[in-house]
Structure 1
Amino acid sequence: MNEKTEELREIFTEVTDEETVTESQEAGRGSLEQDERDIEDRLEGVIERMRERYEFDTSLTTAELQTVARAFYEGAEDDEIADDLDVEPGEVFDARLALHLTRTDEVDEVDLVALREHDGTPTEIAAEFDCDVDEVTRYRAIAEARAESRAANDRYRDEFDSILADTELSTRMASDVREDGLEDATEGMETDVSF
């Protein structure tokens, strides 16, 4: 059986290019370090699908919308993102909502369903509840974006989570693995050495 195995191995190596056989093993599934180009392509794909399905009320390009999504997942506020893109914070807010990216803390103690279903104008609602018209307009926009996202089963938000939240997690995990490996390698070493 060893002779047969050896013959098969020789035939295999003669008819195949060694680089081709091993090339696919270099970047297999489950790697903690993802290809940046792949992330950009995936982001672009999600944004383009959303553009086809919804009417985006933004003048930002797809690349700028990618920046908005990335910055949102990094925890940046609208005014910070606006500074980076050299646009108004309101434009970033609108773009963020178009991408279904809302923050839970931006609507504390507001009944978004009641606000969205209220048939009054923002001015009438503001007078009824003794609040600012701009706040009513902002909350109503957030309510609409959340309703739109729910109607799509949060599919696009989930895709952003998969691309960007996992990327941040994997970067952090890769960093932790490197640090832990260094700690394990240096554990027990004498560090107070005099030359």
Structure 2
Amino acid sequence: MDEKTEELRDLFLDVADDGTVTEPQEETPGSLTDEQPEDERLDDVIERMQERYAFETDWDDEVYRRLVRGFFDEESDADLAEELDVDEGSVIRARMDLHLLRESDTEFPFELRKLRQLRNAEEEVDLAEELEADEATLERAICVIETQDEARTANDRFRDEFEEIVTDGDLSTQLARDAREDGLEEATEGMENDLSM
């Protein structure tokens, strides 16, 4: 410590109420990597959904997690079914359980609004006849509108949570990669290279 610094320190100690010259350390804000692991966060959402709704599928959390990630990575149901060693119909049913609807899920030869109206009508009607659809198509359409209703009642909260978790994981990985690249760039800045081709 040079003479000037010593004089400043002594002056500070004279005017300060206590004898310390350092500020107490505060806890720093967390980072994305400090959070609960992604798998645990996904499991938490899945378990809450299972408690609230009657799932048609009965899969391990690991398989549901893979389905969620595949859905947001825009993998097809056929590809997911092949990887998970299940039939495509089971993948679709599991997506419905998790409120993960694709735009293509709502494409039918009739309007879903019409199906809703007929189902809510006071008089019982033959849906297949009214909509000119086979039973399998009707079952699929009913499954879709019931999923839409469940998701709407929950304000699409579960799908939003899944997306946030999966996106956070991607963001965390990207931030770590960017930090490594920036560090490498700074470390090598100004270095000469003697490469001869």
Normalising by structure 1, we get a TM-score of 0.70
Cα deviations by residue, 1:44-84 (Å, 9 ceiling, x for unpaired) = 11111111111001122222212211211222111211122
Counterpart in the other structure of 2:114: 114
- Listed as ranges, the gaps of 5+ residues in structure 1 are 13-20
Hey, what's the Cα distance between the residues in 1 that align with 2:149 and 2:131?
21
Hey, what's the Cα distance between the residues in 1 that align with 2:104 and 2:182?
34
Larger radius of gyration: 2
* Alignment CA distance shift 1:162-1:34 (3 Å): farther
Counterpart in the other structure of 2:3: none
Q: Structure 2: which amino acid aligns with 1:142?
A: V
* Alignment CA distance shift 1:61-1:126 (3 Å): farther
Cα deviations by residue, 1:81-111 (Å, 9 ceiling, x for unpaired) = 1122211111111111000011124435874
- Confirm or deny: 8 A CA contact 2:96 2:144 kept in the other structure: yes
Secondary structure of 2:48's aligned partner: helix
- Confirm or deny: 8 A CA contact 2:118 2:127 kept in the other structure: no
- Confirm or deny: 8 A CA contact 1:34 1:167 kept in the other structure: no
Confirm or deny that 1:51 pairs with 2:50.
yes
Hey, what's the Cα distance between the residues in 2 that align with 1:176 and 1:113?
47
- Listed as ranges, the gaps of 5+ residues in structure 2 are 1-12, 120-124
**Shift of residue 175 of structure 1?**
3.1
Counterpart in the other structure of 1:78: 77
Q: Structure 1: which amino acid aligns with 2:79?
A: E
Q: Structure 1: which amino acid aligns with 2:43?
A: E
Q: Structure 1: which amino acid aligns with 2:55?
A: F
Counterpart in the other structure of 1:29: 30
Hey, what's the Cα distance between the residues in 2 that align with 1:159 and 1:133?
34
- Confirm or deny: 8 A CA contact 1:126 1:133 kept in the other structure: no
**Shift of residue 121 of structure 1?**
5.2
Counterpart in the other structure of 1:167: 169
Counterpart in the other structure of 2:20: 5
Normalising by structure 2, we get a TM-score of 0.69
Q: Structure 2: which amino acid aligns with 1:149?
A: A
Cα deviations by residue, 1:139-183 (Å, 9 ceiling, x for unpaired) = 332222111101011111121122112222332344345446656
Counterpart in the other structure of 2:129: 124
Hey, what's the Cα distance between the residues in 1 that align with 2:93 and 2:141?
12
Secondary structure of 1:172's aligned partner: helix
- Confirm or deny: 8 A CA contact 2:99 2:147 kept in the other structure: yes
Which stretch has the larger CA shift, 67-76 or 131-140? Answer: 131-140
- Confirm or deny: 8 A CA contact 2:115 2:127 kept in the other structure: no
* Alignment CA distance shift 1:183-1:117 (3 Å): farther
Q: CA RMSD in A?
A: 3.5
Hey, what's the Cα distance between the residues in 2 that align with 1:176 and 1:162?
20
Q: Structure 2: which amino acid aligns with 1:91?
A: S
Aligned match for 2:148, one of 115, 124, 146: 146
Identity across matched positions, percent? 38
